[in-house]
Structure 1
Amino acid sequence: MDSAARATPRLLRYLTALVGIGSITVATAAGAGEATIELYESTREGPWGEPLTQFHAALDNHPNATGDFPFGGPNISSRYVRRQDGGGEIDGWSWSIAVASDISLENSDKQTDLANQSDLFYVGGIITLNAPESLLNSTGHLTVSDDWEMCTFRWLLNGFNYTDRLRSDDGTCTSVLTEQCISYLKEAAYDNHHQGSVCSCPMLDDVGPCEDLGERSAVLGHSCTAQRYNASDFREWEDGKLDVHLFGDKQPHDFGDTANYDDIGSLAWPIITTFKNRTGAEEFSNARSFMSCVRAMDAVDGSDAPEFESRASGLGVTWARIGIVLALCILTL
């Protein structure tokens, strides 16, 4: 999206936000600094039902914003991970996200009542877990000991009054959670994974340091989904990458309109990852737990990162303020 392509829709977006003409934004105001998020979420196909190859082509070749959040994870190629050796932690693990503003609906199998659907576009994103390149073998797959397994815990955002605090999070989740709460939440996820054969989401209400955080942490009290992966699953990842979540907004837009991109692209997604080594020996570290709030915060060359403006201030603006905004917009044309 170059400057010329953004100018007109951005001007219209400012007018809509300030004086309420038209309807461009995807979200409906739900209170100070909150909005209801409406998404299609998927794992096996594109969010609008298009083939994964098409969706991946848009995200791999033409993203507008990305984010990468590294963490030191276990060396899953080794059977034993000794505590006295630092737990066998290695660099190269990361969560990443890519968001594209204009994905065509041309190949969508979801029917809408919109005319000329093939001429419309939507905002889409993909969240990926990346394993260290050092663990890849000559076939491009991971070298994994049979003793390892992993759980991912994702909090879903669809249909939820999303707190705007997370839209400026740096990936640590500290915009809505305290460090003590995060530590205890990771421990709860670790315990659930370590003690059972299935993944079970930690409940925020059961984590003491998180109880008094109120609405700021409400997103962690929303729907959570958990998924378990064993060593055989690890070996199937292509190039050591696992796509764990695909999402797209439900409100199509004309090419170049950035309102939905700013709203959907600025979302941060809370995720916990736990690793478990099933050796059972006390001298070995059996699991590790990591938490991230994954957000597309880095603009790709030629694009802008999502620019979300909080709805907390409401629509009570003066005509003088509107005039200032219009003047600034005109200068960018």
Structure 2
Amino acid sequence: MRRVAFGAFLANTPNFTGRYPIAGPNISTPPILTGLTDDNLIDGWSWSIATAADLLLENSSTTENQSDYYTGGKLVLNAPSSVVSGGRNLIVDNEWNLCVYHWDLANASYPEHLRNDNGTYGSILSDEGIVDMQEPALPPLNSHVCSCPQVNTIPPCKGNDDASRVFGTNCTALSFSATQLRRSGLWDEGTLEIRAFGDATTHPSGNRTAYGNIGSLAWPVKVWYGTDGYYDKASLSCVRATDTADRSNEPAGMSSTNSLDSSWTIFAAAVLSCVLMP
């Protein structure tokens, strides 16, 4: 399946979706210079996720129950329509920077109760832990290089096995300057794709084993918006699908004894790497 078709299928016929509004500023205007303030927060920033149980492989026929289907999904960051120009590029004042963090849970012993988290990580973190994990991580402030938070240095998280299993895994910190945020082709109609995911083996149409495991996952992500000394805002999200589409079933989560091992991965899965062509 080509990437365009993959995205279109998830947009038009997903089985399980979720959307999580997050706090974010109006990056199209200069930051307020009176200190750290929420006066310029606007609606429209959000995370969204979509998962489909039966995606047909490229160049396959539609013979019923043949083993040419796979489970796949996509996680994206959405910008407010008010900061999107012409349907694609973002309108960004030169002083803004953006950091996006995500954690790779492949080969992790996945905490089962994350599959029922409300989006805040309240299932594994205390209120203090959530606040500390949301602390900006951009040292030094003028370097424009994002740095992942270290869970073992956060007091409320020490001794928390679930927090260590989630946030002690590989973290990727993506750094975007104002110029990069405006770059043509980076954002597609105001959305930034953070990861595509799926299982590495195909299945017959209607087999829901992979859908039950992958479709019920929660993904750890964090966004930081900031400027050189004027503004600081971050949000930590536990993004999972929560809404079933018409005539769809909610995934039945797998047992926590099943770690997320090399049987599936992000972008590098055998199926996705072969079928998600440009």
TM-score (structure 2 length as normaliser): 0.82
Return the alpha-carbon distance in structure 1 between the equivalents of residues 98 and 15 of structure 2: 30
Alignment match, 1:76? 27
3-state SS of paired residue (1:154):
strand
C-alpha contact (below 8 Å) 1:123/1:260 kept by paired residues: yes
Return the alpha-carbon distance in structure 2 between the equivalents of residues 160 and 79 of structure 1: 41
1:268-316 superposed Cα distances (whole Å, 9 cap, x missing partner): 00001111213x4xxx32x21111011011111121221225457xxxx
2:98 to 107, 129, 150: 150
1:87-138 superposed Cα distances (whole Å, 9 cap, x missing partner): 4111110011000111122359xxxxxxxxx842111110100011122234
Alignment match, 2:209? 259
C-alpha contact (below 8 Å) 1:75/1:81 kept by paired residues: no
Counting aligned pairs with the same residue, the percent is 38
Q: What value does the CA root-mean-square deviation take over the aligned residues?
A: 2.3
1:212 to 159, 176, 185: 159
Q: Which runs of 5+ in 1 are unaligned?
A: 1-49, 109-117, 313-333
1:179-219 superposed Cα distances (whole Å, 9 cap, x missing partner): 111111111x4344736331121110011111121245411
Which has more radius of gyration?
1
Seen in structure 2, the aligned counterparts of structure 1 residues 306 and 86 have a Cα distance that, compared at 3 Å, is same
Alignment match, 1:65? 16
Return the alpha-carbon distance in structure 1 between the equivalents of residues 241 and 6 of structure 2: 17
Seen in structure 2, the aligned counterparts of structure 1 residues 182 and 88 have a Cα distance that, compared at 3 Å, is same
3-state SS of paired residue (2:50):
strand
1:293 to 233, 238, 242: 238
3-state SS of paired residue (1:162):
coil
C-alpha contact (below 8 Å) 1:105/1:119 kept by paired residues: no
Instruction: State how many pairs are aligned.
Output: 249
3-state SS of paired residue (1:184):
helix
C-alpha contact (below 8 Å) 2:53/2:71 kept by paired residues: yes
Seen in structure 2, the aligned counterparts of structure 1 residues 310 and 274 have a Cα distance that, compared at 3 Å, is same
C-alpha contact (below 8 Å) 2:144/2:177 kept by paired residues: no
C-alpha contact (below 8 Å) 1:266/1:295 kept by paired residues: yes
Q: Which runs of 5+ in 2 are unaligned?
A: 61-65, 258-278
1:14-70 superposed Cα distances (whole Å, 9 cap, x missing partner): xxxxxxxxxxxxxxxxxxxxxxxxxxxxxxxxxxxx531122122122110100000
C-alpha contact (below 8 Å) 1:192/1:202 kept by paired residues: no
The letter for the 2-side match of 1:300 is: A
1:305 to 250, 256, 277: 250
| TM-fit CA distance, 1:229 | 1.4
| TM-fit CA distance, 1:86 | 2.8
Alignment match, 1:159? 107
Q: How does 1:1-333 map to 2 (within 5 A)?
A: 50-82=1-33, 83=35, 86-107=38-59, 119-138=67-86, 140-187=88-135, 189-192=136-139, 194=141, 196-215=143-162, 217-235=164-182, 236=184, 237-278=187-228, 280=229, 284-285=230-231, 287-308=232-253, 310=255
3-state SS of paired residue (1:80):
coil
| TM-fit CA distance, 1:167 | 0.6
C-alpha contact (below 8 Å) 1:155/1:223 kept by paired residues: yes
| TM-fit CA distance, 1:243 | 0.6
Seen in structure 2, the aligned counterparts of structure 1 residues 138 and 215 have a Cα distance that, compared at 3 Å, is closer
Seen in structure 2, the aligned counterparts of structure 1 residues 192 and 105 have a Cα distance that, compared at 3 Å, is farther
Return the alpha-carbon distance in structure 2 between the equivalents of residues 55 and 193 of structure 1: 39
| Greater share of residues in helix | 1
Seen in structure 2, the aligned counterparts of structure 1 residues 107 and 87 have a Cα distance that, compared at 3 Å, is farther
Return the alpha-carbon distance in structure 2 between the equivalents of residues 193 and 57 of structure 1: 40
Return the alpha-carbon distance in structure 2 between the equivalents of residues 213 and 53 of structure 1: 41
Alignment match, 2:262? none
C-alpha contact (below 8 Å) 1:176/1:217 kept by paired residues: no
TM-score (structure 1 length as normaliser): 0.69
Return the alpha-carbon distance in structure 2 between the equivalents of residues 216 and 197 of structure 1: 27
